[in-house]
Chain A
Amino acid sequence: MEELLFIRFEVLPALLKGLVVSIKLIVPSAFFGLFIGIIIGALRVYGSTILKKAADTYVLIFRGFPLVVQLFIWYFGLPHIGIYLSPMVASIVGFSLCSSAYHSEYVRGAFLSVKTGQTMGAKALGFSKLQMIRFITLPQAFRRALPGCGNEIIYLIKYSSLAYMITCIELTGQGKIIASETFKYTEIFMIIGAIYLLLTTIASWILHRVENSLLLPGFEHYKA
């Protein structure tokens, strides 16, 4: 009984506060990550040689550096050149850029899967390259990239816990604080684990809904 009261009145309010911070990290990071990822992915497929190289290098760096190191650079490194980011902003920047590098890979594959004939069809009608990407290949590539990009968003939900390393106290950070005060590690981290599971479940459900709403004849999933 005492245990339950402790959880109800001490643990949950703190975790709820952390959860709010987590969501404030995840939602913009997912949005910017996907947005930048689409641009980088498009550049890697349709860009000029220089732009392609630049985009490839971008991916190499942001996918190659450990995320924690990236976060440290944004938060502890940038002040050396006079740029101060709040823990929240530094985390969102770090997550968005890292996530966009992964998204770009799914998007690139999806762009490549659009039959080249359609790009010829568009060009023959007088579309500029940008119009062709925007109106013809992106709408198709987006549908094909969605399962992969959804995967990346699920990952993001979990690696958002790294934000506490740069003092952005989100769900995991809050948990760690109460746990080290009370030594109830097992209970508290079990609850936290369950909350992340709930978040990823909701995210997959939303992603499925989006996928289904974008379904068109010719783009159906395999049904056994």
Chain B
Amino acid sequence: MAHRKTILRIEDMTKRYGSKTVLKNASLSLKEGELKILIGPSGGGKSTLLQCVNFLVKPDKGRIWLDGEEIIHSRKKELYAYRQKVGMIFQDFNLFDHLTALQNVQIALVKVKKKTKEQARTRAINELERVGLGDHIKKYPAQLSGGQKQRVSIARALAMDPKVMLLDEPTSALDPELISEVLDVIINLRLHGMTMIMSTHQIGFASELADELVFLEDGNILETGPPKKMLSDADCERTREFCSKITELYGNSF
């Protein structure tokens, strides 16, 4: 892995809400094709960290480099261009309710990337077929199941040709039966070498696929390491405690 180049580097990310610090000096780097999975209790700062990475939440401190170039988020043009290269998947999908699955994928291609309607349409159909939704392109979000919605949102992000994907608990809002259809898509992305940071409670999935697990609690990155070590022999007491509890709860399978 050493020969791969670093795609994303985050340094000293800090975010406060009032007097509460929800993220403290978090640093992280991501090599090409790498998958890092954030684990930790709810409210530990996983979502905040992911949202700080594409500046949906403005960090109080911290710097970010994509492909070696630092992103200055106060320069609007730079920020918008950067966000196009960083795909984001949300826990509750965040599809645009007034648009069909096809239009959801198409709209940013036309309005943001300035592609022609025809190009955008072809691309959108390809991406939707890739996530197994070729038969549902004309449906509105209200007519899709949770798993289908999440797959549309993945297609929507992929159509932008992102260099990195951020996945914020992509399966947490889904019925148990629908989780696997979304995880399958993510596994497929992984096999195609997509660089990703993901937060999840699906510990079985995490341990099999992740290059590294990152344990976050109270806004601190307490420990980072390969899944095997983190789950069975973590250095930090709290990591061990959390990992054994979550393994018990969610099991090793996915």
Set of chain A residues within 8 Å of B142, measured between Cβ atoms: 216-218
Q: Which of A120, A139, A216, A217 contacts B90 (CB 8 A)?
A: A120
Q: Residues of B contacting A127 with CB < 8 Å?
A: 80, 108, 111-112
For window 144-161 of chain B, which residues contact chain A by CB distance below 8 Å? 153, 156-157, 160
CB neighbours of A140 from chain B (8 A):
96-98
The reply to whether B96 and A131 contact each other, CB–CB distance below 8 Å, is no
Interface residue from B83, B87, B98, B111 paired with A216 (Cβ < 8 Å): B98
Residues in B106-140 with C-beta less than 8 Å from chain A? 107-108, 111-112, 139-140
Q: Is the interface of A mostly helix, strand, loop or mixed?
A: helix
**B97/A120 in contact, CB under 8 A:** no
Within 8 A of B (CB), among A123-157: 123-128, 131, 135-136, 139-140, 143
B56 within 8 Å of A by Cβ?
yes
CA distance A125 to B86 in the complex (A): 8
Contact present for B140 and A122 (CB under 8 Å) = no
- Cβ of B12 within 8 Å of any chain A Cβ, yes or no, is no
User: Are A218 and B97 interface neighbours, CB within 8 A?
Assistant: yes
Q: How far is the CB of B131 from chain A (nearest CB, A)?
A: 16
**A125 engages B97 (CB within 8 Å):** no
B224 in the interface, Cβ–Cβ < 8 Å? no
Please indicate the chain B residues that have their CB under 8 angstroms from the CB of A128 in the complex: 76, 80
Cβ–Cβ < 8 Å partners of B93 in chain A: 117
A131–B82 Cα distance when bound, in Å, is 16
The residues in A between 197 and 224 inclusive whose CB is less than 8 angstroms from any CB of B are: 216-219
A124 to chain B, nearest CB (A): 4
Q: Is B45 an interface residue (CB 8 A)?
A: no
Interface size on B, residues (CB 8 A): 33
Residues of chain A within 8 A (CB-CB) of B98 are 139-140, 143, 216, 218-219
- B88 within 8 Å of A (CB atoms): yes
**Residues from 44 to 103 in A contacting B, C-beta threshold 8 Å:** none
CB distance from A166 to the nearest CB of B (A): 42
Interface size on A, residues (CB 8 A): 22
A193 within 8 A of B: no
- Residues in B whose Cβ lies below 8 Å from that of A167: none
Q: Whole-angstrom distance from the CB of B124 to the nearest CB of chain A? A: 13
The residue in chain B whose Cβ has the minimal distance to the Cβ of A142 is B98
Taking the nearest CB of chain A, how far is it from the CB of B164, in angstroms? 12
Residues of A within 8 A of B81 (CB): 126
Interface string of B50-93 (1 = CB under 8 A from A): 01001010000000000000000000100011111011101011
Residue B232 at the A interface, CB < 8 A?
A: no
Q: How far is the CB of B96 from chain A (nearest CB, A)?
A: 5
- Cβ–Cβ contact A123 & B76, under 8 A: no
Residues in B with CB closer than 8 Å to A126 are 80-84, 108, 112, 160
- Please state if A217 and B140 are interface contacts (CB–CB under 8 Å): yes
Q: Output the nearest chain A residue to B86 by Cβ-Cβ distance.
A: A124
Complex Cα distance, B110 from A125, in Å, reads 12
Q: Which residues of B contact A216 (CB under 8 A)?
A: 97-98, 140, 142
A129 to B: closest C-beta gap in Å: 9
Q: Are B83 and A125 in contact (CB under 8 A)?
A: yes
A139 to B99, alpha carbons, bound, how many Å?
A: 10
Identify the A interface with B (CB < 8 A). Answer: 115, 117-118, 120-128, 131, 135-136, 139-140, 143, 216-219
Please give me the 8 A-B residue pairs with the lowest Cβ-Cβ distance, nearest first: A218-B142, A121-B94, A126-B84, A124-B88, A117-B94, A125-B108, A217-B140, A126-B83
Known: A118-B97, A125-B108. 9 other contacts (CB 8 A): A120-B56, A124-B54, A126-B81, A128-B80, A131-B111, A136-B96, A140-B96, A216-B140, A218-B140
